[in-house]
Amino acid sequence: MRQAIEQYRTKLDANPLLAVENAIFVQTDENIPLQVCRAIGHYIGGEPQDIALTQNTTTGLALLYHGLPLRGGD
């Protein structure tokens, strides 16, 4: 873990914009959210593209509830 953190710090020091861009937005093996989705998918026996990352539980539940076709009395 310490080595991974140090490598990321080195990338940030070299070029912060590119380091963040690659770590979050570019679909490469360096993409941190993609790595997390792959790990979770592997852990639960699912596919990475079926994993949704949210900022917190409340946001995740709000997204889920908003997508349900609920009517009065449900």
Domains of the chain by residue range: 2-66
Read off the pTM. Answer: 0.62
User: Is the torsion defined by CA of 39, 44, 48, 50 positive or negative?
Assistant: negative
Residue 40 is predicted with a pLDDT of 96
Written as tens digits, the pLDDT of the chain (74 aa) is: 899 889 889 989 999 988 888 778 888 887 889 999 999 999 999 999 999 999 999 999 999 989 999 888 88
Residue 18 is predicted with a pLDDT of 85
Nearest to residue 30, comparing CAs of 55, 52, 12? Answer: 12
Residue 32 is predicted with a pLDDT of 86
Residue 2 is predicted with a pLDDT of 93
